[in-house]
A and B are shown apart, each in its own frame.
With several copies, the nearest count.
Chain A
Amino acid sequence: MDNLESLVDVDRGMISREIFVNEEIYRREQEQVFARAWLFVGHESQIPGAGDFVVSSMGEESVILCRDRAGAIHVFLNSCRHRGMKVCRYDEGNTVEFMCPYHGWSYATDGTLVGVPFLKDAYGPQLDRARWGLVEVAQLENYKGTIWATWDASAPSFLDYLGGYKLYLDLLLDAWDGREGGTEVIGGVHKWLIPCNWKFPAENFSGDRYHGVSHRSVDMVGIGPSGKGRRDMQERNEARWLDVSFPELGHSMIAFLRAHDSPLAPAYQDAPVVADYFRRCEEDRRRRRGEYWRLFGGPGTMFPNTSPLARQPRTLAVWHPRGPHQTEVWRWYLVDADAPAEVKDFLRHYYIRYSGPSGLTEQDDMENWNYAHKASRGVIARQFPYNYEMGLGRATRAFEDHGLRLPGTISDVTAANASENNQRGYYRRWRQFMEAGSWKDLVS
Protein backbone atom coordinates (compact mmCIF):
# COMPACT_ATOMS: atom_id res chain seq x y z
CA MET A 1 0.00 0.00 0.00
CA ASP A 2 1.91 3.04 -1.23
CA ASN A 3 -0.93 5.36 -0.16
CA LEU A 4 -1.01 4.45 3.52
CA GLU A 5 0.59 7.79 4.24
CA SER A 6 -2.50 9.61 3.06
CA LEU A 7 -4.84 7.14 4.76
CA VAL A 8 -3.33 7.23 8.24
CA ASP A 9 -2.28 10.69 9.33
CA VAL A 10 -1.85 10.23 13.06
CA ASP A 11 -0.20 13.57 13.66
CA ARG A 12 -3.28 15.39 12.46
CA GLY A 13 -5.63 12.82 13.94
CA MET A 14 -7.16 11.85 10.59
CA ILE A 15 -7.66 8.21 9.63
CA SER A 16 -9.37 7.08 6.45
CA ARG A 17 -12.35 4.72 6.56
CA GLU A 18 -10.60 2.70 3.85
CA ILE A 19 -8.44 0.88 6.37
CA PHE A 20 -11.59 -0.63 7.89
CA VAL A 21 -13.52 -1.60 4.78
CA ASN A 22 -11.02 -2.09 1.97
CA GLU A 23 -10.60 -5.74 0.93
CA GLU A 24 -7.06 -5.33 -0.35
CA ILE A 25 -5.92 -3.69 2.90
CA TYR A 26 -7.50 -6.55 4.80
CA ARG A 27 -5.64 -9.09 2.70
CA ARG A 28 -2.38 -7.29 3.34
CA GLU A 29 -3.06 -7.20 7.08
CA GLN A 30 -3.00 -10.97 7.17
CA GLU A 31 0.56 -10.98 5.85
CA GLN A 32 1.92 -7.79 7.35
CA VAL A 33 0.32 -7.97 10.79
CA PHE A 34 -0.98 -11.40 11.73
CA ALA A 35 1.84 -13.44 10.20
CA ARG A 36 4.40 -11.34 12.14
CA ALA A 37 3.03 -10.13 15.45
CA TRP A 38 2.89 -11.95 18.78
CA LEU A 39 -0.67 -13.20 19.25
CA PHE A 40 -2.50 -14.48 22.31
CA VAL A 41 -3.39 -18.16 22.08
CA GLY A 42 -4.75 -19.31 25.42
CA HIS A 43 -4.10 -19.95 29.07
CA GLU A 44 -1.96 -22.57 30.74
CA SER A 45 -4.81 -23.46 33.09
CA GLN A 46 -6.80 -24.72 30.08
CA ILE A 47 -4.32 -27.56 29.52
CA PRO A 48 -3.11 -28.65 32.96
CA GLY A 49 -2.16 -32.23 32.09
CA ALA A 50 0.05 -33.98 29.54
CA GLY A 51 -1.93 -34.59 26.35
CA ASP A 52 -4.45 -31.86 27.13
CA PHE A 53 -5.30 -29.63 24.21
CA VAL A 54 -7.59 -26.82 23.22
CA VAL A 55 -8.17 -25.49 19.74
CA SER A 56 -7.58 -21.78 19.36
CA SER A 57 -7.16 -19.28 16.55
CA MET A 58 -4.33 -17.06 15.31
CA GLY A 59 -5.63 -14.48 12.88
CA GLU A 60 -7.91 -16.34 10.48
CA GLU A 61 -6.38 -19.72 11.17
CA SER A 62 -7.17 -22.59 13.50
CA VAL A 63 -4.35 -23.68 15.79
CA ILE A 64 -3.91 -26.36 18.43
CA LEU A 65 -2.57 -25.42 21.86
CA CYS A 66 -1.41 -28.56 23.61
CA ARG A 67 0.87 -29.97 26.23
CA ASP A 68 3.01 -32.87 25.07
CA ARG A 69 3.73 -36.03 27.06
CA ALA A 70 6.83 -34.36 28.49
CA GLY A 71 4.77 -31.44 29.70
CA ALA A 72 6.06 -28.94 27.14
CA ILE A 73 3.54 -26.56 25.61
CA HIS A 74 3.19 -26.27 21.81
CA VAL A 75 1.09 -24.36 19.31
CA PHE A 76 0.52 -25.97 15.91
CA LEU A 77 -1.30 -25.02 12.75
CA ASN A 78 -4.42 -27.20 12.74
CA SER A 79 -3.85 -28.59 9.27
CA CYS A 80 -2.41 -31.85 8.03
CA ARG A 81 0.77 -31.61 5.99
CA HIS A 82 -0.49 -34.17 3.47
CA ARG A 83 -3.66 -32.59 2.09
CA GLY A 84 -4.39 -29.96 4.70
CA MET A 85 -7.22 -31.67 6.55
CA LYS A 86 -7.96 -30.18 9.95
CA VAL A 87 -6.36 -32.74 12.22
CA CYS A 88 -8.44 -31.69 15.23
CA ARG A 89 -12.09 -30.71 14.97
CA TYR A 90 -12.71 -30.77 18.73
CA ASP A 91 -12.61 -27.67 20.90
CA GLU A 92 -10.73 -29.42 23.68
CA GLY A 93 -9.76 -32.80 25.04
CA ASN A 94 -6.88 -35.05 25.93
CA THR A 95 -5.09 -37.22 23.41
CA VAL A 96 -1.92 -39.17 22.72
CA GLU A 97 -1.89 -38.10 19.08
CA PHE A 98 -3.78 -36.19 16.43
CA MET A 99 -4.86 -38.57 13.73
CA CYS A 100 -5.94 -37.05 10.44
CA PRO A 101 -9.32 -38.49 9.44
CA TYR A 102 -8.56 -38.26 5.71
CA HIS A 103 -5.62 -40.63 5.18
CA GLY A 104 -4.59 -41.33 8.72
CA TRP A 105 -1.29 -39.51 9.10
CA SER A 106 -0.90 -39.07 12.82
CA TYR A 107 1.08 -36.56 14.79
CA ALA A 108 2.31 -36.80 18.36
CA THR A 109 1.44 -34.07 20.82
CA ASP A 110 4.89 -32.58 20.15
CA GLY A 111 3.97 -32.29 16.48
CA THR A 112 6.19 -34.99 15.09
CA LEU A 113 4.74 -37.12 12.33
CA VAL A 114 4.61 -40.50 14.02
CA GLY A 115 2.14 -42.46 11.93
CA VAL A 116 2.01 -42.80 8.14
CA PRO A 117 -0.06 -45.70 6.78
CA PHE A 118 2.03 -47.97 4.53
CA LEU A 119 5.05 -45.77 5.17
CA LYS A 120 7.63 -48.34 4.09
CA ASP A 121 5.69 -49.88 1.23
CA ALA A 122 4.13 -46.79 -0.25
CA TYR A 123 6.75 -44.13 0.41
CA GLY A 124 9.95 -45.96 1.13
CA PRO A 125 12.71 -43.36 1.41
CA GLN A 126 10.73 -40.71 -0.42
CA LEU A 127 9.05 -39.25 2.61
CA ASP A 128 11.35 -37.57 5.10
CA ARG A 129 9.06 -37.71 8.11
CA ALA A 130 11.18 -35.26 10.06
CA ARG A 131 10.30 -32.54 7.55
CA TRP A 132 6.56 -33.19 7.65
CA GLY A 133 5.49 -32.67 11.25
CA LEU A 134 2.72 -30.28 12.13
CA VAL A 135 3.59 -26.65 11.36
CA GLU A 136 4.66 -25.12 14.65
CA VAL A 137 4.85 -21.47 15.61
CA ALA A 138 8.29 -19.90 15.33
CA GLN A 139 8.29 -18.61 18.91
CA LEU A 140 6.14 -19.31 21.95
CA GLU A 141 6.01 -17.70 25.37
CA ASN A 142 4.25 -18.68 28.55
CA TYR A 143 3.92 -15.39 30.36
CA LYS A 144 2.41 -15.78 33.82
CA GLY A 145 0.11 -18.48 32.50
CA THR A 146 -0.90 -16.73 29.31
CA ILE A 147 0.37 -18.36 26.12
CA TRP A 148 1.58 -16.16 23.27
CA ALA A 149 3.03 -17.10 19.91
CA THR A 150 4.29 -15.71 16.61
CA TRP A 151 4.85 -17.26 13.18
CA ASP A 152 7.85 -15.03 12.54
CA ALA A 153 11.27 -16.34 13.60
CA SER A 154 12.75 -12.88 13.15
CA ALA A 155 10.32 -11.30 15.57
CA PRO A 156 11.82 -10.01 18.83
CA SER A 157 11.32 -11.99 22.02
CA PHE A 158 7.95 -11.68 23.71
CA LEU A 159 9.40 -9.59 26.52
CA ASP A 160 10.90 -7.16 24.02
CA TYR A 161 7.57 -7.10 22.19
CA LEU A 162 5.83 -6.42 25.48
CA GLY A 163 8.36 -3.76 26.48
CA GLY A 164 7.30 -1.15 29.01
CA TYR A 165 3.73 -2.38 28.72
CA LYS A 166 4.65 -5.20 31.11
CA LEU A 167 3.80 -3.02 34.09
CA TYR A 168 0.25 -2.64 32.82
CA LEU A 169 -0.39 -6.14 31.54
CA ASP A 170 0.68 -7.39 34.95
CA LEU A 171 -2.21 -5.46 36.48
CA LEU A 172 -4.38 -8.14 34.89
CA LEU A 173 -2.15 -11.17 35.29
CA ASP A 174 -0.83 -10.73 38.81
CA ALA A 175 -2.93 -11.61 41.78
CA TRP A 176 -4.91 -8.70 43.21
CA ASP A 177 -2.83 -8.77 46.31
CA GLY A 178 0.29 -7.99 44.31
CA ARG A 179 1.86 -11.41 44.06
CA GLU A 180 3.34 -12.30 40.67
CA GLY A 181 1.03 -14.37 38.49
CA GLY A 182 -1.54 -16.39 40.33
CA THR A 183 -4.51 -15.89 38.00
CA GLU A 184 -6.56 -18.62 36.33
CA VAL A 185 -9.32 -18.92 33.75
CA ILE A 186 -12.80 -19.83 34.95
CA GLY A 187 -14.16 -22.46 32.62
CA GLY A 188 -15.80 -21.55 29.37
CA VAL A 189 -14.53 -19.28 26.63
CA HIS A 190 -17.13 -16.98 25.08
CA LYS A 191 -17.03 -17.09 21.29
CA TRP A 192 -19.24 -15.04 19.01
CA LEU A 193 -19.35 -13.10 15.76
CA ILE A 194 -19.68 -9.34 15.20
CA PRO A 195 -20.36 -7.84 11.77
CA CYS A 196 -17.56 -5.25 11.80
CA ASN A 197 -13.88 -4.94 11.04
CA TRP A 198 -11.66 -6.36 13.79
CA LYS A 199 -10.04 -2.97 14.48
CA PHE A 200 -13.24 -1.40 15.80
CA PRO A 201 -13.19 -3.38 19.05
CA ALA A 202 -9.37 -3.30 19.17
CA GLU A 203 -9.31 0.51 19.14
CA ASN A 204 -12.32 0.78 21.43
CA PHE A 205 -10.59 -1.26 24.12
CA SER A 206 -7.28 0.50 23.54
CA GLY A 207 -8.61 3.47 25.45
CA ASP A 208 -12.08 4.69 24.61
CA ARG A 209 -13.27 6.44 27.77
CA TYR A 210 -15.46 8.53 25.57
CA HIS A 211 -18.37 6.25 24.73
CA GLY A 212 -20.31 6.64 27.96
CA VAL A 213 -23.41 7.33 25.89
CA SER A 214 -23.26 3.78 24.60
CA HIS A 215 -23.67 2.43 28.11
CA ARG A 216 -25.93 4.99 29.70
CA SER A 217 -28.78 2.49 29.80
CA VAL A 218 -26.65 0.22 31.93
CA ASP A 219 -25.73 3.04 34.25
CA MET A 220 -29.42 3.71 34.73
CA VAL A 221 -30.25 0.10 35.42
CA GLY A 222 -27.19 -0.65 37.51
CA ILE A 223 -25.33 -3.91 37.31
CA GLY A 224 -22.19 -2.92 39.20
CA PRO A 225 -20.73 -5.09 41.93
CA SER A 226 -22.24 -2.68 44.44
CA GLY A 227 -25.55 -2.85 42.66
CA LYS A 228 -25.18 0.58 41.12
CA GLY A 229 -23.89 1.81 37.77
CA ARG A 230 -21.57 -0.30 35.68
CA ARG A 231 -18.65 -0.46 38.09
CA ASP A 232 -17.56 0.80 41.45
CA MET A 233 -16.71 4.35 40.58
CA GLN A 234 -15.68 5.88 43.84
CA GLU A 235 -12.03 4.90 43.84
CA ARG A 236 -11.78 6.11 40.26
CA ASN A 237 -13.40 9.37 41.14
CA GLU A 238 -10.58 10.30 43.46
CA ALA A 239 -7.85 8.90 41.20
CA ARG A 240 -5.92 10.45 38.30
CA TRP A 241 -7.11 9.15 34.94
CA LEU A 242 -4.27 8.22 32.63
CA ASP A 243 -4.40 7.18 28.98
CA VAL A 244 -1.22 5.20 28.57
CA SER A 245 0.14 4.43 25.12
CA PHE A 246 3.30 2.92 23.69
CA PRO A 247 3.15 4.21 20.11
CA GLU A 248 6.41 2.48 19.20
CA LEU A 249 4.84 -0.84 20.26
CA GLY A 250 1.16 -0.25 19.57
CA HIS A 251 0.07 -1.25 23.06
CA SER A 252 -2.05 0.88 25.36
CA MET A 253 -4.29 0.89 28.42
CA ILE A 254 -6.64 3.01 30.42
CA ALA A 255 -5.14 3.37 33.88
CA PHE A 256 -6.02 4.95 37.20
CA LEU A 257 -3.48 6.34 39.64
CA ARG A 258 -4.79 6.83 43.12
CA ALA A 259 -3.55 9.63 45.33
CA HIS A 260 -0.35 8.78 47.21
CA ASP A 261 -2.22 9.47 50.43
CA SER A 262 -5.58 8.00 49.54
CA PRO A 263 -7.30 5.63 51.93
CA LEU A 264 -8.72 2.32 50.91
CA ALA A 265 -11.92 2.70 48.98
CA PRO A 266 -15.00 0.83 50.03
CA ALA A 267 -16.30 -1.47 47.29
CA TYR A 268 -18.61 -4.42 46.81
CA GLN A 269 -20.65 -3.15 49.68
CA ASP A 270 -23.54 -5.46 49.07
CA ALA A 271 -21.29 -8.53 49.26
CA PRO A 272 -19.39 -8.48 52.57
CA VAL A 273 -17.22 -11.49 51.89
CA VAL A 274 -16.11 -10.03 48.57
CA ALA A 275 -15.60 -6.58 49.99
CA ASP A 276 -13.52 -8.14 52.74
CA TYR A 277 -11.42 -10.13 50.27
CA PHE A 278 -10.55 -7.13 48.17
CA ARG A 279 -9.75 -5.02 51.21
CA ARG A 280 -7.25 -7.59 52.37
CA CYS A 281 -5.82 -7.84 48.89
CA GLU A 282 -5.24 -4.13 48.72
CA GLU A 283 -3.51 -4.10 52.06
CA ASP A 284 -1.14 -6.82 50.89
CA ARG A 285 -0.75 -5.02 47.59
CA ARG A 286 0.49 -1.87 49.33
CA ARG A 287 2.97 -3.90 51.27
CA ARG A 288 4.27 -5.76 48.26
CA ARG A 289 4.18 -3.09 45.57
CA GLY A 290 5.15 0.00 47.46
CA GLU A 291 4.19 3.12 45.55
CA TYR A 292 3.00 1.05 42.60
CA TRP A 293 0.05 -0.14 44.67
CA ARG A 294 -1.63 3.06 43.52
CA LEU A 295 -1.76 1.98 39.88
CA PHE A 296 -4.93 0.28 38.64
CA GLY A 297 -5.73 -0.77 35.13
CA GLY A 298 -8.76 -0.79 32.89
CA PRO A 299 -9.33 -1.91 29.33
CA GLY A 300 -6.37 -1.83 26.97
CA THR A 301 -5.18 -3.40 23.75
CA MET A 302 -1.94 -5.19 23.09
CA PHE A 303 -1.10 -4.81 19.45
CA PRO A 304 -2.66 -6.07 17.29
CA ASN A 305 -5.79 -7.77 18.56
CA THR A 306 -5.61 -8.78 22.23
CA SER A 307 -7.39 -6.73 24.84
CA PRO A 308 -6.70 -7.19 28.55
CA LEU A 309 -9.28 -5.74 30.89
CA ALA A 310 -7.28 -5.30 34.03
CA ARG A 311 -10.07 -4.85 36.58
CA GLN A 312 -13.34 -6.59 37.31
CA PRO A 313 -14.68 -8.01 35.07
CA ARG A 314 -11.11 -9.18 34.53
CA THR A 315 -10.97 -10.60 31.03
CA LEU A 316 -8.80 -11.14 28.00
CA ALA A 317 -10.51 -10.60 24.63
CA VAL A 318 -9.10 -11.50 21.24
CA TRP A 319 -10.55 -9.97 18.08
CA HIS A 320 -10.04 -12.52 15.32
CA PRO A 321 -10.33 -11.22 11.77
CA ARG A 322 -12.96 -13.08 9.77
CA GLY A 323 -12.92 -11.11 6.55
CA PRO A 324 -12.90 -7.31 6.37
CA HIS A 325 -16.47 -7.09 7.57
CA GLN A 326 -16.62 -9.64 10.36
CA THR A 327 -14.87 -10.33 13.65
CA GLU A 328 -14.95 -13.41 15.85
CA VAL A 329 -14.49 -12.59 19.49
CA TRP A 330 -13.01 -15.00 22.02
CA ARG A 331 -13.27 -14.03 25.66
CA TRP A 332 -11.40 -15.53 28.63
CA TYR A 333 -12.39 -14.74 32.24
CA LEU A 334 -9.72 -14.48 34.91
CA VAL A 335 -9.83 -14.66 38.69
CA ASP A 336 -7.25 -14.98 41.42
CA ALA A 337 -6.52 -18.70 41.53
CA ASP A 338 -6.68 -18.84 45.29
CA ALA A 339 -9.59 -16.50 45.90
CA PRO A 340 -12.37 -18.02 48.05
CA ALA A 341 -15.01 -19.91 46.11
CA GLU A 342 -17.63 -17.37 47.14
CA VAL A 343 -15.57 -14.54 45.66
CA LYS A 344 -15.01 -16.41 42.43
CA ASP A 345 -18.71 -17.13 42.13
CA PHE A 346 -19.65 -13.53 42.84
CA LEU A 347 -17.28 -12.34 40.11
CA ARG A 348 -18.47 -15.01 37.70
CA HIS A 349 -22.00 -13.66 37.96
CA TYR A 350 -20.75 -10.15 37.47
CA TYR A 351 -18.73 -11.10 34.39
CA ILE A 352 -21.68 -12.86 32.80
CA ARG A 353 -24.10 -10.00 33.24
CA TYR A 354 -21.52 -7.43 32.16
CA SER A 355 -19.61 -8.95 29.26
CA GLY A 356 -20.10 -10.51 25.90
CA PRO A 357 -23.19 -11.02 23.80
CA SER A 358 -25.27 -11.86 26.84
CA GLY A 359 -23.80 -8.98 28.83
CA LEU A 360 -25.85 -5.86 29.28
CA THR A 361 -22.92 -3.57 28.60
CA GLU A 362 -21.19 -4.91 25.55
CA GLN A 363 -24.33 -5.58 23.55
CA ASP A 364 -24.47 -1.86 22.88
CA ASP A 365 -20.82 -1.70 21.88
CA MET A 366 -21.47 -4.31 19.26
CA GLU A 367 -24.47 -2.52 17.89
CA ASN A 368 -22.30 0.55 17.46
CA TRP A 369 -19.37 -1.27 15.87
CA ASN A 370 -21.76 -3.05 13.54
CA TYR A 371 -23.37 0.10 12.14
CA ALA A 372 -20.28 2.29 12.33
CA HIS A 373 -18.65 -0.22 10.02
CA LYS A 374 -21.66 -0.55 7.76
CA ALA A 375 -22.12 3.19 7.36
CA SER A 376 -18.45 3.58 6.38
CA ARG A 377 -18.45 1.33 3.32
CA GLY A 378 -19.97 3.62 0.71
CA VAL A 379 -18.15 5.56 -2.01
CA ILE A 380 -19.05 8.91 -0.40
CA ALA A 381 -18.45 7.87 3.20
CA ARG A 382 -14.96 6.71 2.31
CA GLN A 383 -14.06 10.24 1.30
CA PHE A 384 -14.43 11.43 4.91
CA PRO A 385 -11.77 10.36 7.43
CA TYR A 386 -12.57 9.55 11.03
CA ASN A 387 -11.62 12.17 13.58
CA TYR A 388 -8.94 11.32 16.17
CA GLU A 389 -8.10 14.86 17.25
CA MET A 390 -9.13 14.50 20.87
CA GLY A 391 -6.22 15.49 23.13
CA LEU A 392 -3.71 15.91 20.31
CA GLY A 393 -0.34 17.01 21.65
CA ARG A 394 -1.23 16.74 25.32
CA ALA A 395 0.68 13.57 26.16
CA THR A 396 4.00 13.31 27.95
CA ARG A 397 6.69 10.64 27.79
CA ALA A 398 7.88 11.56 31.26
CA PHE A 399 4.91 11.15 33.54
CA GLU A 400 5.58 11.49 37.25
CA ASP A 401 3.35 11.74 40.30
CA HIS A 402 4.86 12.31 43.74
CA GLY A 403 8.05 10.67 42.60
CA LEU A 404 6.33 7.77 40.92
CA ARG A 405 7.39 7.60 37.26
CA LEU A 406 5.24 5.66 34.88
CA PRO A 407 6.44 4.36 31.47
CA GLY A 408 4.63 5.17 28.23
CA THR A 409 3.29 8.16 26.38
CA ILE A 410 0.72 9.28 28.90
CA SER A 411 -2.15 11.68 28.63
CA ASP A 412 -3.63 12.72 31.96
CA VAL A 413 -7.34 13.01 31.26
CA THR A 414 -8.53 13.52 34.81
CA ALA A 415 -9.81 16.91 33.80
CA ALA A 416 -10.35 16.25 30.11
CA ASN A 417 -12.38 13.08 30.83
CA ALA A 418 -11.07 11.40 27.67
CA SER A 419 -8.53 11.52 24.86
CA GLU A 420 -7.66 9.60 21.72
CA ASN A 421 -4.03 9.32 22.73
CA ASN A 422 -4.16 5.53 22.78
CA GLN A 423 -5.98 5.11 19.47
CA ARG A 424 -3.41 7.34 17.76
CA GLY A 425 -0.60 5.27 19.18
CA TYR A 426 -2.31 2.11 18.02
CA TYR A 427 -2.71 3.24 14.42
CA ARG A 428 0.79 4.68 14.28
CA ARG A 429 2.09 1.19 14.94
CA TRP A 430 -0.47 -0.39 12.63
CA ARG A 431 0.82 1.75 9.76
CA GLN A 432 4.41 0.78 10.54
CA PHE A 433 3.48 -2.89 10.32
CA MET A 434 1.66 -2.36 7.05
CA GLU A 435 4.61 -0.53 5.51
CA ALA A 436 7.41 -2.68 6.89
CA GLY A 437 9.21 -5.12 4.59
CA SER A 438 10.18 -7.25 7.56
CA TRP A 439 10.79 -7.10 11.31
CA LYS A 440 14.05 -5.29 10.55
CA ASP A 441 11.99 -2.21 9.73
CA LEU A 442 9.95 -2.59 12.90
CA VAL A 443 12.59 -2.63 15.58
CA SER A 444 14.38 0.61 16.22
Chain B
Amino acid sequence: MSDRLARLLLKEDIEAFLYQEAELLDERRYEAWLDLFTDDAHYFMPMRRNVPHDEPEREFTRAGVDVNWFDEGKDTLTRRVRQILTGIHWAEEPPSRTCHMISNVQVLATDPADPTPTEVTVRSRFLVYRNRVETETDFLVGRREDVLRRVDGGWKIARRRIVLDQSVLLAKNLT
Protein backbone atom coordinates (compact mmCIF):
# COMPACT_ATOMS: atom_id res chain seq x y z
CA MET B 1 0.00 0.00 0.00
CA SER B 2 2.54 2.58 1.06
CA ASP B 3 4.65 2.10 -2.06
CA ARG B 4 1.55 2.32 -4.24
CA LEU B 5 0.91 5.54 -2.42
CA ALA B 6 4.43 6.73 -3.05
CA ARG B 7 4.00 6.02 -6.74
CA LEU B 8 0.73 7.83 -6.70
CA LEU B 9 2.27 10.90 -5.12
CA LEU B 10 5.10 10.71 -7.62
CA LYS B 11 2.69 10.67 -10.50
CA GLU B 12 0.68 13.49 -8.99
CA ASP B 13 3.91 15.42 -8.67
CA ILE B 14 4.75 14.87 -12.31
CA GLU B 15 1.29 15.69 -13.57
CA ALA B 16 1.49 18.96 -11.71
CA PHE B 17 4.82 19.62 -13.38
CA LEU B 18 3.46 18.95 -16.88
CA TYR B 19 0.37 21.06 -16.27
CA GLN B 20 2.50 23.88 -15.00
CA GLU B 21 4.64 23.62 -18.12
CA ALA B 22 1.51 23.96 -20.26
CA GLU B 23 0.48 26.94 -18.18
CA LEU B 24 3.80 28.69 -18.75
CA LEU B 25 3.58 28.14 -22.52
CA ASP B 26 0.01 29.36 -22.83
CA GLU B 27 0.73 32.31 -20.58
CA ARG B 28 3.66 33.06 -22.92
CA ARG B 29 6.14 32.95 -20.04
CA TYR B 30 8.74 31.48 -22.35
CA GLU B 31 11.80 32.17 -20.25
CA ALA B 32 10.29 30.43 -17.26
CA TRP B 33 9.40 27.58 -19.60
CA LEU B 34 13.01 27.38 -20.75
CA ASP B 35 14.12 26.96 -17.15
CA LEU B 36 12.22 23.70 -17.05
CA PHE B 37 14.88 22.11 -19.25
CA THR B 38 18.23 20.80 -18.04
CA ASP B 39 21.28 22.30 -19.72
CA ASP B 40 21.96 19.02 -21.49
CA ALA B 41 18.35 18.62 -22.59
CA HIS B 42 17.62 17.00 -25.95
CA TYR B 43 14.50 18.14 -27.77
CA PHE B 44 13.45 15.83 -30.57
CA MET B 45 10.53 15.62 -32.98
CA PRO B 46 10.89 13.26 -35.93
CA MET B 47 9.05 13.39 -39.23
CA ARG B 48 6.76 10.49 -40.08
CA ARG B 49 6.38 8.58 -43.30
CA ASN B 50 3.67 6.36 -44.68
CA VAL B 51 5.31 2.97 -44.90
CA PRO B 52 4.14 -0.65 -45.05
CA HIS B 53 2.96 -1.98 -41.70
CA ASP B 54 5.80 -4.47 -41.69
CA GLU B 55 8.54 -1.86 -42.11
CA PRO B 56 7.87 0.25 -39.00
CA GLU B 57 11.56 1.07 -38.74
CA ARG B 58 11.17 3.31 -41.78
CA GLU B 59 8.32 5.29 -40.27
CA PHE B 60 10.29 7.83 -38.23
CA THR B 61 13.24 9.96 -39.21
CA ARG B 62 16.15 9.28 -36.88
CA ALA B 63 17.61 11.54 -34.24
CA GLY B 64 21.18 12.56 -34.92
CA VAL B 65 21.07 11.28 -38.51
CA ASP B 66 18.19 12.57 -40.55
CA VAL B 67 16.55 15.92 -40.99
CA ASN B 68 13.79 16.13 -38.39
CA TRP B 69 11.25 18.70 -37.27
CA PHE B 70 13.30 19.22 -34.12
CA ASP B 71 16.58 17.63 -33.06
CA GLU B 72 18.40 20.03 -30.84
CA GLY B 73 19.69 21.06 -27.47
CA LYS B 74 18.89 23.84 -25.07
CA ASP B 75 21.01 26.35 -26.97
CA THR B 76 18.74 26.30 -30.01
CA LEU B 77 15.62 26.22 -27.84
CA THR B 78 16.93 29.32 -26.16
CA ARG B 79 17.30 31.06 -29.49
CA ARG B 80 13.74 30.16 -30.38
CA VAL B 81 12.51 31.73 -27.19
CA ARG B 82 14.66 34.80 -27.60
CA GLN B 83 13.35 35.23 -31.13
CA ILE B 84 9.78 35.37 -29.90
CA LEU B 85 10.80 37.84 -27.23
CA THR B 86 12.18 40.22 -29.86
CA GLY B 87 8.57 41.13 -30.62
CA ILE B 88 9.33 41.21 -34.34
CA HIS B 89 9.09 37.47 -34.92
CA TRP B 90 6.13 38.05 -37.22
CA ALA B 91 4.92 34.45 -37.09
CA GLU B 92 4.22 35.02 -33.39
CA GLU B 93 3.42 38.73 -33.48
CA PRO B 94 0.61 39.32 -32.77
CA PRO B 95 0.93 36.38 -30.38
CA SER B 96 -1.06 33.23 -31.01
CA ARG B 97 -3.72 32.01 -28.63
CA THR B 98 -2.66 28.50 -27.66
CA CYS B 99 -4.05 25.82 -25.39
CA HIS B 100 -1.93 22.81 -24.47
CA MET B 101 -4.20 20.02 -23.29
CA ILE B 102 -2.25 17.25 -21.61
CA SER B 103 -3.72 13.83 -20.90
CA ASN B 104 -2.91 10.11 -20.50
CA VAL B 105 0.03 10.80 -18.20
CA GLN B 106 1.89 7.53 -17.57
CA VAL B 107 4.90 7.27 -15.31
CA LEU B 108 6.84 4.28 -16.58
CA ALA B 109 7.71 1.67 -14.02
CA THR B 110 10.40 2.89 -11.69
CA ASP B 111 12.24 0.84 -9.13
CA PRO B 112 9.50 0.22 -6.56
CA ALA B 113 12.19 0.06 -3.92
CA ASP B 114 13.05 3.66 -4.71
CA PRO B 115 10.15 5.96 -3.84
CA THR B 116 12.01 9.08 -4.98
CA PRO B 117 13.84 8.24 -8.21
CA THR B 118 16.10 10.93 -9.66
CA GLU B 119 15.00 10.22 -13.21
CA VAL B 120 11.64 9.07 -14.48
CA THR B 121 10.31 8.42 -17.94
CA VAL B 122 6.87 9.86 -18.57
CA ARG B 123 4.45 9.34 -21.41
CA SER B 124 1.70 11.81 -22.15
CA ARG B 125 -0.62 12.93 -24.94
CA PHE B 126 -1.07 16.49 -26.08
CA LEU B 127 -3.61 18.40 -28.09
CA VAL B 128 -2.36 21.85 -28.93
CA TYR B 129 -5.01 24.21 -30.20
CA ARG B 130 -3.66 27.32 -31.82
CA ASN B 131 -5.69 30.24 -33.07
CA ARG B 132 -4.27 33.54 -34.29
CA VAL B 133 -5.08 36.80 -35.96
CA GLU B 134 -8.64 36.32 -37.24
CA THR B 135 -9.59 32.77 -38.05
CA GLU B 136 -6.26 30.94 -38.45
CA THR B 137 -6.62 27.69 -36.51
CA ASP B 138 -4.43 24.60 -36.11
CA PHE B 139 -4.68 21.37 -34.19
CA LEU B 140 -1.45 19.61 -33.28
CA VAL B 141 -2.12 16.26 -31.68
CA GLY B 142 0.23 13.51 -30.61
CA ARG B 143 2.33 11.86 -27.94
CA ARG B 144 5.38 12.75 -25.91
CA GLU B 145 7.91 10.71 -24.02
CA ASP B 146 9.89 12.77 -21.55
CA VAL B 147 12.75 11.91 -19.27
CA LEU B 148 12.42 14.09 -16.19
CA ARG B 149 15.29 14.56 -13.82
CA ARG B 150 15.02 15.70 -10.24
CA VAL B 151 17.12 18.83 -9.79
CA ASP B 152 17.28 20.34 -6.36
CA GLY B 153 13.81 19.41 -5.26
CA GLY B 154 12.02 20.11 -8.53
CA TRP B 155 11.82 18.37 -11.89
CA LYS B 156 13.45 19.33 -15.14
CA ILE B 157 13.08 17.94 -18.65
CA ALA B 158 16.24 16.12 -19.67
CA ARG B 159 14.92 14.51 -22.84
CA ARG B 160 11.75 15.00 -24.83
CA ARG B 161 10.58 12.99 -27.80
CA ILE B 162 7.48 14.32 -29.56
CA VAL B 163 5.50 12.19 -31.98
CA LEU B 164 3.12 14.29 -34.03
CA ASP B 165 0.32 12.38 -35.72
CA GLN B 166 0.85 13.93 -39.13
CA SER B 167 2.95 13.18 -42.18
CA VAL B 168 2.47 16.30 -44.27
CA LEU B 169 2.52 19.04 -41.65
CA LEU B 170 -0.96 20.55 -41.70
CA ALA B 171 0.19 23.90 -40.44
CA LYS B 172 2.39 26.64 -41.80
CA ASN B 173 4.80 26.54 -38.90
CA LEU B 174 5.79 24.97 -35.59
CA THR B 175 6.56 27.88 -33.31
Contact = CB atoms under 8 A, between A and B. Distances in A.
Interface of A: 89-93, 101, 186-195, 214, 216-218, 220-223, 328, 333, 345, 348-349, 351-353, 357-358, 360, 363-364, 366-368, 370-371
A366 B66 contact: no
Interface stretch (B2-10, B79-87, B105-113, B118-126): B79-87
Does more than half of chain B's interface fall in helix, strand or loop, or is it mixed? loop
Interface residues of B, number: 43
B31 to A, nearest CB: 14
Given A353-B76, A360-B79, A193 B170 contact: yes
A392 to B, nearest CB: 28
23 contacts: A91-B167, A93-B51, A93-B58, A187-B62, A190-B169, A191-B167, A191-B169, A192-B168, A217-B90, A218-B83, A221-B86, A223-B76, A223-B79, A349-B76, A353-B72, A357-B174, A358-B69, A358-B173, A360-B80, A363-B172, A364-B89, A364-B90, A367-B90
Contact of A187 (B66, B89, B172): B66
Contact of A188 (B67, B72, B168): B67
Given A91-B49, A92-B49, A187-B62, A333 B67 contact: yes
A363 B175 contact: yes
A13 B85 CA distance: 37
B1 interface: no
Contacts of A191: 47, 167-169
A304 B72 CA distance: 34
A89 B50 contact: yes
A352 B91 contact: no
A309 B132 CA distance: 30
Contact of A93 (B52, B88, B89, B136): B52
Contact of A357 (B65, B82, B173): B173
Nearest to B49: A91
Given A93-B52, A333-B67, A363-B91, A352 B72 contact: yes
